[in-house]
Structure 1
């Protein structure tokens, strides 16, 4: 097992590689404000970003703020997002959280982890994406893809995403967290997939395999 110092050195080098490949980290989900980002991230569970971006134009044409969304029948919301996975549950959660935002937050999306995770359908990862990408609060959202890469790269041997998040927070500087989680996702999709992984194109794994990292 690598020492914490060795892991931190590896993380620093990985960070440099990611910074070179992805100097900018645009949010892959189309949105215009905190509410539309929150809904888009909620929809992305078990659904690709590409699919979410195909669905949200019609959804946000129907209602792009909690006041208007709260007036929609749940069946209409579900029909609009039907091509996303878990559409019935997501429709109920979108409607319910919209009511809460209107009733308890004057229609505004709260900017704290505690408040966000109390909203229906909003878990720790979803809340952190909103905090990091809209409110610019240092956060390290970890999904199953980041969890997989952290293990593959020897940065964490955690059994769950929460533990992996703690490990990555320790290894990467806080100032990099908001960009780093997106960079890891981008890199995983482009160079380090779960299947069809090719060391020739994956510089991070190639260097690790060669003992250079």
Structure 2
């Protein structure tokens, strides 16, 4: 995927009355020394009332004869004005579990049909800036299923996603290469790649 015609054409302040997905808040708090301070932060307005998370990230590994490969995506993101290398991910719907959301989002974004394997603790993306959080759901993809041989993503009208795979053992070097090509790297992928490299180094 190249950026093509996707680009930011203007940037301006967003009035609170126009905001659909987020809001800015000012928190007043006492620090560990008892001093009263304020903090500016952002909050999502879409978290379901019965949920402790905003969304899910999905670690989908394809078992291949040449070694395991991880499912990744290229998606243009206006806040960065760049195409970002990401894991499949999405917001959780009312009444869904993290596992149900992961299976649904993976099917919608990539076409892969999967079963949940394990789920992470709640993870916060950028706690100094916002309260957005998620759970990472590891899924298993049965490549023998006909649906996984003939992929049929179900993208929304405003979604433009290119799916690709990278060998799990080469994820770190792939991140370096992709960044050099001008792509932005999502922190969840970079952290996973770094963890693999640390595991290699210390033979964990």
Question: TM-score scaled to structure 2, two decimals?
Answer: 0.22
Greater share of helix: 1
Question: TM-score scaled to structure 1, two decimals?
Answer: 0.21
